Amino acid sequence: AGLAWIGPPPAAIELMGSKTEARSAMAAAGVPIIPGATEPVRTVDEVVALGEQIGYPLIIKAAAGGGGKGMELVGDPSEAPRAFEAAQRQGLKYFADDAVYVERYLEDPRHVEAQVLADAHGNVLFLGERDCTIQRRHQKLIEETPSPAVDDELRARIGRIAVDAARAVGYRSAGTIEGLLSREGEYFFLEMNTRIQVEHTVTELATGLDLVREQVLIAAGEPLSLRQEDV
């Protein structure tokens, strides 16, 4: 008695926790995703067929993955059997799920994530981007805002994508839309962190907002006190 769930809706957590389901939902909502499969890939032949369709290199990823685990690069068709088996094995080991999917591998992208706040009244705010490109073994080392690679026009586009992604799953709470920025300036949805991240303090310093306080107020049913132009 007296306890309440203060996180995002469980349905949104479950949906965004599956990389393939999240990609399908984002594609249906018009959010740009990296070209590739939106369903689990079951055989090596499917991997090769996707390679012929979208081109090499490819990356095979564990559908339940995260933290850089369960990812294997495929430079040409001859590498597909080894990479497919390795990704499945890692998915089973780390996440108890051997389902994998395939994306086009982006060469040397920047990793840019967008902080959002969403309430139960249909309001979603974009609180700017954090650039976390500097990593070691797919683990973030440095977060900075604003990103040195993002101008005002691109920031507005990233913001629209982040808000659309949060709305598409009926998100409520603080959350992060992670994306990859290609060398050609294309921004693609990568995944959503359905929680507040340790690096949220970077955004707090830049905006002056207490995101944990905002998260609790959202959970209490309060509407967001800010408009996008106030950020």
Q: Which residue numbers are catalytic?
A: 195
Residue type, 120: A
Q: What are residue 82's phi and psi, to 5 degrees?
A: -65, -45
Instruction: Indicate the DSSP class of residue 63.
Output: T
| Secondary element (H or E) of residue 62 | strand 58-62
Is residue 62 within 8 Å of residue 71, measured between CB atoms? Answer: yes
Alpha helix ranges (H) inside 126-174: 152-168
Q: How far apart are the first and last CA of the chain?
A: 37
For residues 182 and 187, what is the distance between their CA atoms, to the nearest angstrom? 6
For residues 173 and 71, what is the distance between their CA atoms, to the nearest angstrom? 29
CB atoms within 10 A of CB 132: 23
For residues 212 and 6, what is the distance between their CA atoms, to the nearest angstrom? 10
C-alpha closest to that of 107 among 186, 207, 12? 186
For residues 169 and 9, what is the distance between their CA atoms, to the nearest angstrom? 9
Report the greatest alpha carbon distance in the chain.
59
